[in-house]
A and B are shown apart, each in its own frame.
Chain A
């Protein structure tokens, strides 16, 4: 195995696994789709990274944070439905990106560039994903109760603000890293598809989180290796692998 493939696999496994685990919380809150617009919004950042030659996720990160602040800020101010706001924000992100993204470099921003990830980027991805995994794992039960009923969570003594902050920061980190793996166009799939497949198989919350993470990891491994073998881009192959897992899960759905 070449070093480059190893680096891609390590980054891919960590990013896809933690995105899928986080996805179970986003799916329960009916927020899985929000990762999509945030990914699109990261495109101008990804464009800057490509023009000036730094890591995609470093470019993406501030734009994702800006997107989260914009979506929640405008929601509080206007009380427009979340999907309308995400549509506005994502279209704006794509529009800005295409104004100055050199078209010959667009591919990496749109569908990811995990096959060229370097050692420094891999180490940072592993560290950031580990932080997210630990934070989400520790907060999982409180966040899930908040998803079920926020008022009850408050009465039970849970600091809703603190846990929302942990949750949103985790989304920002995962979406920014997700741009590296599957590009700005498909980040929603990284959180939504493994979680949806896991929901179809799972009976308990522990199974839900665990299976989703496993599906994320399997998708990354198969996607990245088949990209190496076929010469096709890894991002779409990672997503399509998770789509296949999802299709297999449909007959198992208990609803």
Chain B
């Protein structure tokens, strides 16, 4: 089993004297694809931000190795650059990368070098999201935090992003911590899942072991039917 990279014990977050999360225990091993799932308002984004040190937390948080973190927050979407004259090349120049490095990461996500001179705000939703993935990977992180990376793209675009992430995750032995409310993503791509709810219920483990219909009902407070196709060839 691979080494533990990040460990949280009795982890909690209180903002404006309101407890958002409390008593969380989980760890992230190297090479894991951990998905944090739960309904809106369950504290997924808050958890990621507090793990990254962007919000204060209680309890223990231990990084066993010095991480090189990549972060794609929910707020970093095309609307934040739509009105600005920022080309794809400008975006990469924030990281002071060389031309051939930029091309390498663009081709990793399947983008032509011709997008370099295009305005980031005028790319298609899917292209923009792929550019962001390339941009995050360009810092050569060993752990990447993704907060709803497919919110702004349609279903097929979203699937492309996840297939791409999964591909890169397998090839580069990345560790991924991903936030979503999409159950399909959890089953299709994650090695582990941490689920949160507004009502204190949570689960943690391998998706097919822990995501029982009862747990999902407790998390989402509604009946969710998810059919596993056992015995299918």
Contact = CB atoms under 8 A, between A and B. Distances in A.
Interface of A: 28, 141-142, 144-145, 148-149, 151-152, 154-156, 199, 202-208, 254-255
Interface string B118-139: 0100100000000000000001
B52 A155 contact: yes
30 contacts: A141-B93, A141-B94, A145-B94, A148-B84, A149-B80, A151-B52, A151-B71, A151-B73, A151-B75, A152-B71, A152-B72, A154-B54, A155-B52, A155-B54, A155-B70, A155-B71, A156-B94, A199-B83, A199-B84, A202-B85, A203-B85, A203-B119, A204-B85, A204-B86, A204-B87, A205-B85, A205-B86, A207-B85, A208-B85, A254-B119
Contacts of B94: 141-142, 144-145, 156
Contacts of B80: 148-149
Contact of A149 (B70, B76, B89, B119): B76
A203 B94 CA distance: 16
A204 B69 CA distance: 28
Interface residues of B, number: 28
A151 B54 contact: yes
A192 to B, nearest CB: 14
Contacts of B104: none
A255 B87 contact: no
B208 to A, nearest CB: 32
B95 A156 contact: yes
A207 B90 CA distance: 11
Contacts of A152: 71-73, 76
B84 A151 contact: no
Nearest to A255: B83
A219 to B, nearest CB: 20
Contacts of A144: 86, 94
Looking at A142, A151, A254, the one whose CB has the most chain B CB atoms below 10 A away is A151
Contacts of A205: 85-87, 90, 93
Given A148-B76, A149-B76, A151-B49, A199 B85 contact: yes
A59 to B, nearest CB: 35
A29 to B, nearest CB: 10
B99 to A, nearest CB: 15
Contacts of B89: 204
A79 to B, nearest CB: 10
A73 to B, nearest CB: 18
Interface in B81-121: 81-87, 89-90, 93-96, 117, 119
B223 to A, nearest CB: 36
B84 A149 contact: no
Contact of A204 (B70, B90, B139): B90
B6 to A, nearest CB: 15
B59 to A, nearest CB: 22
